[in-house]
């Protein structure tokens, strides 16, 4: 999978409107609500503005690969899904900003899917989405040691919530529609 830095550089070179964290969040939001994410939606969201068609193609191919990797992570029984954020060597303020961008991207990716195909959410799912909206507006005035711990806990809460929502909203296409017993 592309690293945060590599995706950030690729999106920047391609003149994309969205950054790495927001892009990853958007793709995750799409995957949590649509079995097949709408390519037109994420392309529009990225808003790539490079005149270089080869670079545009490379960017879109990398995003398709990233989406496949995210889906594999979310489907894994080993809980390997990770939120794409800057490394811990990056300033806390920048990591908190990136987390806000990730949440914003997720909410957009989730909300832009046609409501008619969106499954109903549990109370926990709706509460988690509300929390994500609050986290979008989070910030850090002065970085302190407990802020590092709080960020770690919030990232884990979001990571767990994404996996919960993915499981909750995925339709099991192998399940019989009749609801009857199989013999």
Residue 120 lies in a domain: yes
- Decide if 177 is inside a domain: no
Cβ atoms of 55 and 67 closer than 8 Å: no
What is the residue range of 155's domain?
Answer: 4-169
CA 25 – CA 92 distance, rounded (Å): 19
The interaxial angle of helices 53-75 and 39-46, nearest 10 deg, is: 120
**What is the tally of structural domains in the chain?**
1
Residue 179 lies in a domain: no
Q: How far apart are CA 118 and CA 94, in angstroms?
A: 33
The tens place of each residue's pLDDT in the chain, 183 residues long, gives 899 999 999 999 999 999 999 999 999 999 998 877 889 999 999 999 999 999 999 999 999 999 999 999 999 989 899 999 999 999 998 999 999 999 999 999 999 887 777 778 899 999 999 999 999 887 666 556 678 889 999 999 999 999 999 998 875 433 444 444 443
CATH, residue 68: 1.20.120.740
Whether 33 maps to a domain, the answer reads: yes
Residue 95 maps to a domain = yes
Q: Does some domain include residue 174?
A: no
pTM for this entry: 0.89
Instruction: Count other Cβ atoms within 10 Å, centred on residue 127.
Output: 12
């Amino acid at each position: 999978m592309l690293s945060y830095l590599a995706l950030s550089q690729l999106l920047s070179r391609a003149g994309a409107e969205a950054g790495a964290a927001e892009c990853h969040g958007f793709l995750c939001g799409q995957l949590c609500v649509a079995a097949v994410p709408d390519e037109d939606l994420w392309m529009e969201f990225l808003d790539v503005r490079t005149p270089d068609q080869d670079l545009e193609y490379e960017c879109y191919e990398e995003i398709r690969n990233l989406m496949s990797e995210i889906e594999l992570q979310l489907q894994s029984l080993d809980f390997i899904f990770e939120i794409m954020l800057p490394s811990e060597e990056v300033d806390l303020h920048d990591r908190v900003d990136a987390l806000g961008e990730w949440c914003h991207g997720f909410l957009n990716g989730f909300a832009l899917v046609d409501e008619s195909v969106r499954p109903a959410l549990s109370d926990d799912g709706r509460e988690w989405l509300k929390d994500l909206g609050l986290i979008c507006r989070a910030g850090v005035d002065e970085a302190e040691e407990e802020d590092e711990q709080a960020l770690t806990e919030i990232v884990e809460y979001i990571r767990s919530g994404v996996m919960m929502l993915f499981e909750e909203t995925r339709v099991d296409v192998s399940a019989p529609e009749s609801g009857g017993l199989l013999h």
